Structure 1
Amino acid sequence: MGYVNLVFFMLFPFLCHLSFSSSLPHLCPKDQALALLQFKHMFTISHDASDHCFDITGQSIQSYPKTLSWNKSIDCCSWDGVYCDETTGKVIELNLTCSKLQGKFHSNSSVFQLSNLKRLDLSNNNFSGSYISPKFGEFSSLMHLDLSDSRFAGLIPTEISHLSKLQVLSIQSSLLRFGPHNFELLLKNLTRLRELNIDSVNISSTIPLNFSSYLTALWLPFTQLYGVLPERVFHLSNLESLDLSDNLQLTIKFPTTKWNSSASLMELYLYSVNVTGRIPESFGHLTSLSKLDLLSCNLSGSIPKPLWNLTNIELLDLGNNHLEGPISDLLRFGKLRSLSLRNNNFDVQLEFLSFKRIWTQLEELDFSSNFLTGPIPSNVSGMQNLQFLFLSSNHLNKTIPSWIFSLPSLYDLDLSNNHFSGNIQEFKSRTLHRVSLKQNQLQGPIPKSLLNQHDLYYLLLSHNKLSGLIDSTVCNLTSLQVLDLGSNNLEGTIPLCLGEMSILRVLDLSNNSLGGTINTTFSIGNVLGVMKFDGNKLEGKFPQLINCKYLEVLDLGNNELKDTFPKWLGALPELQILNLRSNKFYGPIKDSRTDNLFAQIRVIDLSSNGFSGDLPVRLFENFEAMKISSEKSGTREYVGDISYYYTISLIVTTKGLELELPRVLTTDLIIDLSRNRFEGHIPSIIGDLIGLRTLNLSHNRLEGHIPASLHQLSILESLDLSSNKISGEIPQQLTSLKSLEVLNLSHNHLVGCIPKGKQFDTFENSSYQGNDGLHGFPLSKDCGGDDGVAQMTNLVELDEEEGGDSSMISWQAVLMGYGCGLVIGLSIIYIMLSTQYPAWFSRMDVKLEHKILTRMRRHKKRH
């Protein structure tokens, strides 16, 4: 025993030293610290570089500049984001996600000197379109590589496939793409992959048959994959999460029997892929499934009964399909947090659904755009966590039950486009973000609780029967972007404070009974894009809008405003729709010497006012947007769509009808200056506005001729010049207007022959009535004149059909006959004059001589 103690006593100092030294961390090698500092100095810190940081589960991550803590006086192993091997001290992990780095990531970056790296995360920074260097492939020990959302661009190098130890690979950028066969090579070589996240990269390939059998997560959304998904994917025994969304050319064929991954699969995201057909009953084996997203997969039929047995479901999205049948078994999903069946063909009566307390976890419920009928059940309880409720575009009726207004955490409510009646009750929630109750039959005042929501962004109550005043407390909604109160029975005046709402983008108070003057002065820096005050009883001067630099739509039509045309209005650089119709505006629209006025205008309607003077030539010259033809435009874009939740409507007169456009296409180019007191000529410059679809100058005092330049309006569909004092002939060139559907030239002083051919053969008498000097089809007056001319014309046509030589001989005979007739006629005239025949006979002979000479000139000109 003593001997053992003696040995221990002798070894004690050595053991203590060994223990102490092993507990001390090894210092970071100087060359690696220097490499990190060089890397740091290659970038600047930008607070905009990592604005929106989320982890792979969608949770928000705090972003901050980690490299600011890097200091050469401190061991680099203690720097933020740097992790070292405990034995060697060498850097094995570099985590710089969300570090606000900005600048070029060069191919000779000093980070490639850290050859022992096992984990490298450079995600959520801004590397300004830098290429991914092939040197990434030299990290032979790398097991985790994340280059997502850092604005890398160009080709993904094949050297990435050399990282044979890689277990996690995450690359996300719409600026990146794979070269031919590179994606297949990557999956073939990286046989140890457990997580593969390639999001929004242009792969443009099929999914190969050979890939890692260790995969637990396979995420390839927005990658232009095509072909048929190998069934092997569904039989990966470790697969927990699969996301192949938004690959429209990718065909998915589900196994009809039990999947090998059934026990492990927890997340399945397949929205916007080509599935087609019914949901197979094999889904009933996915007992671990918690998230299922089959949005926009062209599915049909009913939801299979085995699916109701998936009691672990938390998120279920089957929206935008063609599903039908019963949905009452949804109540079995006691863990549901989000349920969406929107835009399907479910036609159940909602009142018969028994909403039990089992849905206590539910946060989102979306049954919008179906055929649900009846009232909403009134005895609902237990959904205190509900934040999003969407039941729009159904056939629901009666009153909105009080339990909806009592939801304490309600964030987004959309019950629009139904048949609800009764009053809007006071809301209990103070977290409302959007409330849309438009297109119902709701009555009563706007509830005060709605006007005290500091986080309310969108308030849409239009097309109801709401009454009362617009309370000035609406201006307390400091976050409001869209205020749509149109088409109600609101009275009183427009609150002055609306002009002080700094982020308001849409202000629609149209079609109410509002009166008084528009005294609102909009402050500098406002972002107002749509202002619709049309269809009220507003009086006084034009509102002061000079600070509304972002205004796209201004509709003040159908009021009682009385003022001259504001010269400054054309200086609003974004203005596309201007409607002042049916007011009391007066005076001339003076030509402006300033360029670029109304450069973006697409619809200008000044009809039914008292404007006078000449048409504004200089104004037409500035209509740059109308000088571009949209005939071959393949995309449908709309004016005023500055908010996802709001679309503008506009009343226009076109093709002889007053129509309401529910949305205004950017190709709907319209000029309507009708029913005013404009004088002078129609400017030929209008012919340069080749994008015009509708031109209405009717019911004015215009004179002169129809300019032949109008034939350049190749896509014009409606032309109305009626009820003016226009004279002269209809230009023959207008027959080239192949898109012209409606023409109205009635009640003018036009003369001559109506042009023939193409669209002109389709117009009726009403297009020309009230022009006594017009002849030809479709009028009863023959354009040819007397019978003799008609016969001669027929003779000519017959001769032309018989051939060139006979035609020449016939014409010679005709001309000889005219010549002889002329000699005889002149002889008779001489005798008449010398023998003093009656004056009436002399006048008759002169007319006859004039007709003969005129017809000879015509025939010579034609041949």
Structure 2
Amino acid sequence: MGYVKLVFLMLFSLLCQLAFCSSLPHLCPKDQALALLQFKQMFPIDAYSKLLSWNKSIDCCSWDGVHCNEATGQVIGLNLTRCGLQGKFHSNSSLFKLSNLKRLDLSNNDFSESLISPKFGELSSLTHLDMSYSSFTGLIPAEISRLSKLHVLRIQSYSDGLRFGPHNFELLLKNLTRLRELDLSSVNISSTIPLNFSSYLTNLGLSYTQIYGRLPEGVFHLSNLESLDLSDNPQLTVRFPTTKWNSSASLMELVLYRVNATGRIPESFGHLTSLRTLGIASCNLSGSIPKPLWNLTNIEELELGDNHLEGPISELFRFGKLRSLLLENNNFDGQLEFLSFNRIWTQLEVLDFSSNSLTGPIPSNVSGMQNAHSLYLSSNQLNGTVPSWIFSLPSLIFLDLSDNHFSGNIQEFKSKTLDTVSLKQNQLQGPIPKSLLNLHHLYYLVLSHNNLSGEIASTICNLTKLLVLDLGSNNLEGTIPLCLGEMSELWVLDLSNNSLSGTINTTFSIGNELMVIKFDMNKLEGKVPQSLINCTVLKVLDLGNNELNDTFPKWLRALPNLMILRLRSNKFFGPINDSSAYKFARIRMIDLSSNGFSGDLPMSLFENFEAMKINGEKSGTREYIADMNGRYYTNSFIVTKGLDLELPRVLTTNIIIDLSKNRFEGHIPSIIGDLIGLRTLNLSHNRLEGHIPASLHQLSVLESLDLSSNKISGEIPQQLVSLTSLEVLNLSHNHLVGCIPKGKQFDTFENSSYQGNDGLCGLPLSKDCGGDEGVPQATTPFGLDQEEEEVDSSIISWQSVLMGYGCGLVIGLSIIYIMFSTQYPAWFSRMDVKLEHIITTRMKRHKKRH
């Protein structure tokens, strides 16, 4: 009995010890703690990093971001997202010693374009791996496909620096059969989309991956699918199922921007009753929205923009939970009276109906859009006054009503949260509302192309955060507020095409951010303010069509980024002194026309136009001057191909030199031939002389050449025939001689291109150059005495007459002999009459000339 008690007590003690020990957390193994500390030492750690808690005096299982197995103490999870890690992630990183890792999150760090190590494939226990947005680059190793236990794989990128090798994406999908989430957005896959995906998938994100081919319909029938995003793969063909999808009950997010989904929206969409987000913009869809789509009563975000959809817009009030409704760039019509149904729109935050065919006024009794922060109704046919409720929305940030037919005065602004206001291209009138000048959060104010009147109040300078101020093309008058030059954040200042007067007394402060200054088409006087040299990032300066009276502001050469300089139609005068100090290296458009500039054409200007010496066509990209992150383009008036054009966006390849209608003298510098990017060259209406430089044939993209109304002499260089892009040529009213070149574009120009040059001959002129092939006859050497010229000409003419009579006598005797020997056949009689007519006509012409 005592023995039994003893055994019982020993067992009880042992059980208590086991129970006590199991209640204590296991400590992190020393080798794993050391591995984590070695990893930490590879990166600089800032004051906000979670790695600050990593200290060898503390058990690593309690470190921030570290998760251990409670039973063994092994590190099984590492959450290092947004740790501020910067530097190389080495292929021999100590993290690879943590062989029991199940979850690893390295997202949102900066690993300095490190390669993804193949050793990630050795972490065979991983179920979750996230390396998104951490500046990895290069080839994604095939070893990732060995992680067969993965449930979640995210390797999203900011660019296409990450890529798969051939067939590696297909291999990944073949091996990772347990995947639930796969997001490879902006990874360059560049292959056909595979046929098979994991049947467990709930989230699939392959946007910006350059996949192509036809999307297997089976993707829509994955029974657990909740989110599908295949956006921005224009070579991917998507055909929606016409019957009920297997994923209908679970699918909550469907985003397919910019894929090839040509056709109509099928009625099968009506079964997606769980859908919260539907984005099928820029997919070439057409037709009306099918009625079953109105069954999607849980829709919160509906984006169907940039398609060819049509029909009335009034049905949209059926979607009661909408937060975002984007239908821009379609063909929807009808009126906006449904906005009055305020019970429906209480949650709406974004409404974009821009670029459709909506008509009529905006209802004045709308009160249910109190949460709206973005309202875009631009480029429709809306009319009437803008109702006051729009300017009173308490959460409104973005307001764009541009390019409509709104009239009347602009109401007082009560929305204090506004960031962007664009009311351009309407018929609004009256003064700029004073309340608008109290919106201290305003970044963009665009009121151009209206009928606004009155003066620009100096209180506009209270808008200290303003980036764009565009008041152009109105009826504003008075002077330019002096304080505008002190607005340190301003990018664009456009006061063009108004009735502003006085001098430009604005002092532009040092360190300003101005990229565009447009004061053109006003009544401004005086000189160009020299404080413009403080605008070191200036790209566009347009002071044209004013009454400025000054010499050429050569100090503008100090502006290193200047691309457009327009001083046309002012009262500028004097020579543009030749100086090697001129820079203007980035100039792409210079217009000094219709002034009083004199002297020789400035050689150094042309020498330093470095941007014009590049043919931008070869780059294959379209870039615009003064592009503010795609949000604002400056319009510019240019003269090209003989036309005055207002361009809303100016390509960097639109390279123009216009020095016409001045008093320039001397020769045309041959160095202009080095400006191979030139598209328009206009030197007309000056006093230029000498020859047309043959070097102009190097201007391979030249579209318009105007040298008219000068004193240019000599022949038109035959080499200019190679200018196959030339559409407009004007050489009229000069002293050109010789034969007009033939071939290519020169066969398309009319008489007006050459009129006023008495020495020119050949097509299209009626004056023949002579010769079998239209080759010009030898011309008298330049400088020959006029009397000698007349004598020599007379001798040559009489020689020609005697030779003609001699030939005629021989031919005549031959004709008589043949006539008598052949009994005067009828065909020869007809020939005789014709020859007689030709000889008589030529003799008459000769007598008239002499």
Counterpart residue number, 1:456: 442
* 1:593 correspondence with 2:580: yes
Partner of 1:186: 172
The aligned runs of 1:606-621 (5 Å cut-off) are 606-621=592-607
Q: Matches of 1:515 and 1:500 in 2, distance apart?
A: 20
Q: Within the alignment, does 1:37 sit opposite 2:60 as a pair?
A: no
Is 2:437 the partner of 1:446?
no
Mean CA deviation greater in 541-550 or 756-765: 756-765
Q: Is 1:67 aligned with 2:51?
A: yes
Verify the 8 A CA contact 2:313 2:335 in the aligned structure 1: no
Counterpart of 2:245 in structure 1 is 259
Structure 1 CA distance for aligned equivalents of residues 544 and 599 of structure 2: 21
Find the aligned partners of 1:124 and 1:660 in 2 and give their Cα distance: 45
Amino acid at match of 1:166: L
| Of 281, 295, 304, the match for 2:267 | 281
Structure 1 residue identity aligned to 2:36: L
Closer, same or farther: CA 272–846 of 1 in aligned 2, 3 Å: closer
Three-state SS of the structure 2 residue aligned to 1:346 is strand
Measure how far apart 1:474 and its partner are: 2.1
Ranges in structure 1 where 5+ consecutive residues have no aligned partner: 48-63, 785-792, 798-840, 857-863
Alpha carbons 2:696, 2:720 under 8 Å: kept: yes
In 1: Cα distance, 2:790 partner to 2:572 partner: 56
C-alpha distance in 1 between matches for 2:643 and 2:247? 62
Question: What is the aligned counterpart of 1:751 among 732, 737, 743?
Answer: 737
Q: Which among 164, 167, 171 is matched to residue 151 of structure 2?
A: 167
Q: Confirm or deny that 1:76 pairs with 2:76.
A: no
Over residues 819-860 of structure 1, what are the superposed CA-to-partner deviations in whole Å (9 max), with x where a residue is unaligned?
Answer: xxxxxxxxxxxxxxxxxxxxxx9999765445689999xxxx
Deviation at 1:88, TM superposition (A): 1.6
* Match of residue 72 from structure 2: 88
Note the alpha carbon deviations across 1:264-300, whole angstroms, 9 max, x for none.
1111111111211111111111111111111111111
1:148 to 116, 132, 136: 132
Deviations 1:408-452 (A, max 9, x none): 000111111100011111222221121111101111122233222
Match of 1:831 in 2: none
Q: Does 1:132 align with 2:116?
A: yes
* 2:827 counterpart residue number: none
Offset of residue 658 of structure 1: 2.6
For residues 340 and 587 of structure 1, what CA distance do their matches in structure 2 show? 56
Aligned residue number for residue 216 of structure 1: 202
State how far apart, in whole Å, the 2-side matches of 1:262 and 1:309 are: 13
Is the CA contact 2:314–2:335 (under 8 Å) kept in the aligned structure 1? Answer: no
Paired AA for residue 164 in structure 1: S
Query: Which amino acid counterpart does residue 127 of structure 1 have in structure 2?
Result: F
Secondary structure of residue in 2 paired with 1:160: helix
Alpha-carbon separation, structure 1, partners of 2:463 and 2:693? 53
- Measure the CA separation in 2 of the matches of 1:483 and 1:515: 19
Q: Which amino acid aligns with 1:232?
A: G
Aligned AA for 2:567? L
TM norm structure 1: 0.86
Please tell me the residue identity of whatever aligns with 1:90.
Answer: Q
Q: Distance in 2 between matches of 1:42 and 1:700?
A: 69
Contact preservation (8 Å) 1:529, 1:642: no
Alignment-derived partner of residue 25 in structure 1 = 25
Deviation at 1:18, TM superposition (A): 5.5
CA contact (8 A) 1:351 1:374 kept: no
Matches within 5 A, 1:390-409: 390-409=376-395
Look up the SS of the partner of 1:248 in the other structure. Answer: coil
Task: Give the conservation status (yes or no) of the 8 Å contact 2:467–2:489.
Answer: yes
Q: Which amino acid aligns with 1:547?
A: N
Q: 2 CA distance for matches of 1:164 and 1:734? A: 68
Distance 2:120 2:753 in 1: 75
| 1:103 equivalenced with 2:103 (yes/no) | no
For 2:743 and 2:201, locate their aligned partners in 1 and report how far apart those are by CA, in whole Å. Answer: 70
- Distance 1:783-1:407 versus aligned 2 partners, 3 A rule: same
Query: Given residue 539 of structure 2, which amino acid in structure 1 is its aligned partner?
Result: E
- For residues 486 and 652 of structure 1, the distance between their equivalents in structure 2, rounded to whole angstroms, comes to 16
Q: Deviations 1:358-402 (Å, cap 9, x if unpaired)? A: 211110111111101111111212111111111111000011111
The 1:86–1:562 alpha-carbon spacing in structure 2 relative to 1, beyond 3 Å, is same
Find the aligned partners of 1:299 and 1:710 in 2 and give their Cα distance: 49
The question of 1:122 aligning with 2:106 is answered: yes
Matched, 1:562 2:532: no
Q: Contact 2:314 / 2:336 at 8 angstroms: preserved in 1?
A: no
The answer to whether the 8 Å contact 1:374/1:395 transfers is yes
For the structure 1 residues 461 and 31, does the alpha-carbon distance in structure 2 shift closer, same or farther, using more than 3 Å as the test? same
Distance 1:842 1:590 in 2: 43
Partner SS state of residue 234, structure 1: helix
CA distance in 2, matches of 1:661, 1:855: 62
Q: How far off is 1:539 after superposition?
A: 1.3
Q: Counterparts of 1:430 and 1:337 in 2: how far apart (Å)?
A: 21
Separation of aligned partners in 1, 2:789 and 2:200: 111
Alignment of 1:450-849 (within 5 A): 450-543=436-529, 544-594=531-581, 597-632=583-618, 634-784=620-770, 793=771, 847-849=793-795
Trace 1:306-385 onto structure 2 (pairs within 5 A). 306-351=292-337, 354-385=340-371
**Structure 2: which amino acid aligns with 1:463?**
H
The answer (yes or no) to whether the contact 1:357–1:383 under 8 Å persists in 2 is no
Superimposed CA distance per residue, residues 733-761 of structure 1 (whole angstroms, 9 cap, x where no aligned partner): 33333333322222333334433444334
**Is the Cα contact below 8 Å between 2:181 and 2:204 reproduced in 1?**
yes
Q: Which amino acid aligns with 1:454?
A: H
**Given that residues 186 and 207 in structure 2 are in contact (C-alpha distance below 8 angstroms), is that contact kept between their aligned partners in structure 1?**
yes
Which amino acid is the alignment partner of residue 210 of structure 1? N
Query: Is the 8 Å Cα contact of residues 266 and 291 (structure 1) preserved in structure 2?
Result: yes
For the 8 Å contact 2:693–2:717, the answer to whether it is kept is yes
Tell me whether 775-784 or 475-484 shows the greater mean CA deviation. 775-784
- What is the CA–CA distance in structure 1 between the aligned matches of 2:768 and 2:218, rounded to whole Å? 80
SS at match of 2:172: helix
Instruction: Pick closer, same or farther for the CA change 1:681–1:216 going to 2, 3 Å.
Output: same
Gaps of 5+ in 2: 775-786, 803-850
What is the DSSP-based 3-state SS (H/G/I as helix, E as strand, rest coil) of the residue aligned with 1:618? helix
Deviates more, 1:753-762 or 1:179-188: 753-762
Q: 1:444 to 1:13 in 2, by over 3 A?
A: farther
> Taking structure 1 as reference, are residues 161 and 738 closer, same or farther at Cα in structure 2, changes over 3 Å only?
closer
Contact in 2 for aligned 1:410/1:429 (Cα 8 Å): yes
More displaced stretch, 758-767 vs 217-226: 758-767
Residue 533 of structure 1 deviates from its aligned partner by 0.7
Q: TM-score, normalised by structure 2?
A: 0.88
TM superposition shift of 1:215: 1.3
Q: CA deviation at 1:662?
A: 3.2
Cα deviation, residue 144, structure 1: 0.8
Structure 1, 449-458 or 584-593: larger mean CA deviation: 449-458
Amino acid paired to 2:569: S
Does the C-alpha gap of structure 1 residues 369 and 23 become closer, same or farther in structure 2, counting only changes over 3 Å? Answer: same
**Against the structure 1 CA distance between its residues 132 and 732, is the aligned structure 2 distance closer, same or farther, given a 3 Å change threshold?**
closer
User: 1: CA distance between counterparts of 2:766 and 2:193?
Assistant: 72
Whichever residue aligns with residue 725 of structure 2, its letter is S
SS at match of 1:165: coil
Q: Is the 8 A contact 1:223 1:247 kept in 2?
A: yes
Q: Deviations over 1:284-335 (max 9, x none)?
A: 1111111111111111111111110111110111111111123323212111
Distance (whole Å) between structure 1 residues aligned to residue 729 and residue 628 of structure 2: 35
Shift, 1:551, TM fit: 1.1
The code of the aligned residue for 1:72 comes to: K
Judging changes above 3 Å, is the alpha-carbon distance between structure 1 residues 681 and 423 closer, same or farther for their aligned structure 2 residues?
same
1:648, CA displacement in angstroms? 2.1
The count of residues paired between Structure 1 and Structure 2 equals 784
Q: C-alpha displacement at 1:488, in angstroms? A: 0.8
CA distance in 2, matches of 1:435, 1:846: 79
